[in-house]
Amino acid sequence: MSQDKLIKLVTQGDSKGVGKGHTYYTRKNKKKHADKKFEFKKFNPVAQKHTVYKEKK
């Protein structure tokens, strides 16, 4: 994968903080979404539930 298109998605965990810091890596089209920060709801295997993942540098 090209490193210039990779972004890191990090979770803050669930309401109790379980699973905090788990990461996913994905690609981003920087021409279409140059000014937006991505935010997804993905499965957190540590917390065993879906949590919000936000884009970090």
pTM over 0.75: yes
pLDDT of the residue at 24: 93
pLDDT tens figures, 15-57: 787 888 899 999 888 888 888 888 999 999 998 999 999 999 7
User: Which of 2.20.28.120, 3.40.50.300, 2.60.40.10, 3.90.960.10 is the CATH number of 6-56?
Assistant: 2.20.28.120
pLDDT of the residue at 51: 92
pLDDT of the residue at 11: 92
Q: Where are the domains of the chain?
A: 6-56
pLDDT of the residue at 42: 93
- Distance from C-alpha of 51 to C-alpha of 34, rounded to nearest angstrom: 24
pLDDT of the residue at 35: 85
- Distance from C-alpha of 36 to C-alpha of 21, rounded to nearest angstrom: 21
